[in-house]
């Protein structure tokens, strides 16, 4: 039964592939913008064999991992500090509300002037884009912690750091992990966007090269591959969330 339910989700994508293949062959598709699925698969296979797609994937994932790590660290520190100390929250409230709405990609020209082209810019932009979900969720989670726990901490004479270790982190961990899942998805989108516009590395740059070479099969293969990576990361983190936080895991329908 479970296998049947999972297979139902494949009906639409498989149907679209079959219809697209049949349509393309019926009109002898020869386009600079489209390619039939069989050509996309063949082109993807060639990219796998020659190692180009593995190299581009590794370059993108390096930026994603480092950017998410930096963004998570900054967001978590800010969220905990402002969540625990209301005076700090009020002090930085206006500044944060002015910075947070800035579109991530709007920072690209400024960061290029500072860090130049390459990983520095990409990692900085990814970190900026991913710190906000962590910051917002951690600050909100701290404010929802049972106040009596802090009263107990006062009675025990716990230091600020001891409160963070024994009360704050265990209480907010499930919600912060959910924010982390969202941040990883954002990070992949941001990384590919930066690679398309500025960084001559990674999957985004590979798509630009395919576009300039008028190779729609490769461009579409890379696009589908990026989507698969995003799906795989989401599934891995979802399973990890179920294992680590089984009582609070929030996921979509089981697949």
Residue 179 pLDDT exceeds 80: yes
Rounded to whole angstroms, how far apart are CA atoms 138 and 179?
8
CA distance 70 to 92: 20
Q: What is the CATH number of the domain that holds 178?
A: 1.10.3720.10
pLDDT, greater one: 85 or 3: 85
Whether residue 69 contacts residue 62, with contact meaning beta carbons closer than 8 Å, is answered with no
Angle between helical axes of 119-143 and 52-84 (0-180°, round to 10): 40
In this prediction, residues 194-208 reach a mean pLDDT of 90
| Domain carrying residue 181 | 58-244
In a domain, 48, yes or no: no
* Contacts (Cβ under 8 Å, ≥6 apart) of 213: none
pTM over 0.85: no
Interatomic CA distance for residues 206 and 218, integer angstroms: 9
Quick one: which of 155, 12, 163, 150 has its CA closest to 80? 163
What would the pLDDT profile of 97-106 be if each residue is shown by its tens digit?
899 888 998 9
Residue 119 lies in a domain: yes
- Please compute the mean of the pLDDT values over residues 189-207 and round it to a whole number: 91
Which parts of the chain fold into alpha helices (H)?
Answer: 2-8, 11-26, 37-50, 52-84, 86-99, 108-115, 119-143, 147-156, 160-163, 169-197, 202-212, 216-244
Q: Report how many domains make up the chain.
A: 1
Please indicate, yes or no, if residue 9 is contained in any of the structural domains: no
The residue-averaged pLDDT of 105-124 equals 88
pLDDT at residue 252, rounded to an integer:
44
User: Between 145 and 192, where is the model more confident?
Assistant: 192
Least confident window among 31-35, 117-121, 130-134: 31-35
Length of the chain as a residue count? 255
Asked if residue 120 is part of any domain, the answer here is yes
Residue 70: predicted pLDDT: 96
Average pLDDT over residues 177-201: 92
Instruction: Report d(CA 131, CA 79) in Å as an integer.
Output: 10
The 10 Å CB-count burial string (b at 16+, else e) for 42-65 is ebbeebeeeeebeebbebbbbbbe
Structural domain contains residue 25: no
So what's the pLDDT on residue 237? 92
CA 139 centroid distance within chain: 20
Which of 10-14, 31-35, 186-190 shows the lowest mean pLDDT across its residues?
A: 31-35
| Residue 145 DSSP label | S
- 188 domain residue, yes or no: yes
């Amino acid at each position: 039964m479970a296998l049947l339910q999972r297979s139902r989700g494949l009906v639409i994508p498989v149907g679209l592939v079959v219809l697209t293949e049949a349509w393309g062959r019926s009109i002898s598709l020869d386009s600079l913008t489209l390619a039939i699925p069989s050509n996309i698969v063949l082109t993807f296979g060639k990219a796998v064999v020659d190692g180009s797609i593995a190299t581009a994937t590794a370059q993108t994932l390096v930026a994603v991992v480092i950017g998410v790590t930096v963004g998570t660290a900054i967001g978590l520190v800010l969220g905990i500090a402002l969540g625990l100390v209301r005076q700090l929250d009020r002090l930085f409230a206006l500044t944060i509300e002015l910075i947070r709405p800035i579109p991530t990609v709007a920072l690209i020209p400024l960061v290029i002037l500072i860090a130049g082209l390459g990983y520095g810019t990409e990692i900085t932009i990814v970190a900026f884009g991913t710190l906000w979900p962590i910051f917002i969720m951690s600050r909100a989670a701290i404010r929802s912690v049972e106040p009596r726990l802090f009263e107990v901490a006062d009675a025990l004479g716990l230091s600020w750091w001891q409160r963070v270790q024994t009360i704050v982190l265990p209480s907010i961990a499930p919600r912060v992990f959910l924010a982390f899942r969202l941040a990883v998805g954002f990070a992949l989108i941001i990384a590919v966007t930066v690679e398309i516009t500025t960084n001559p590395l990674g999957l985004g740059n590979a798509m630009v090269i395919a576009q300039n070479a008028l190779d729609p099969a490769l461009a579409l293969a890379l696009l589908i591959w990026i989507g698969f990576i995003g799906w795989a990361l989401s599934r891995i983190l979802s399973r990890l969330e179920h294992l680590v936080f089984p009582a609070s895991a929030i996921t979509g329908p089981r697949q």
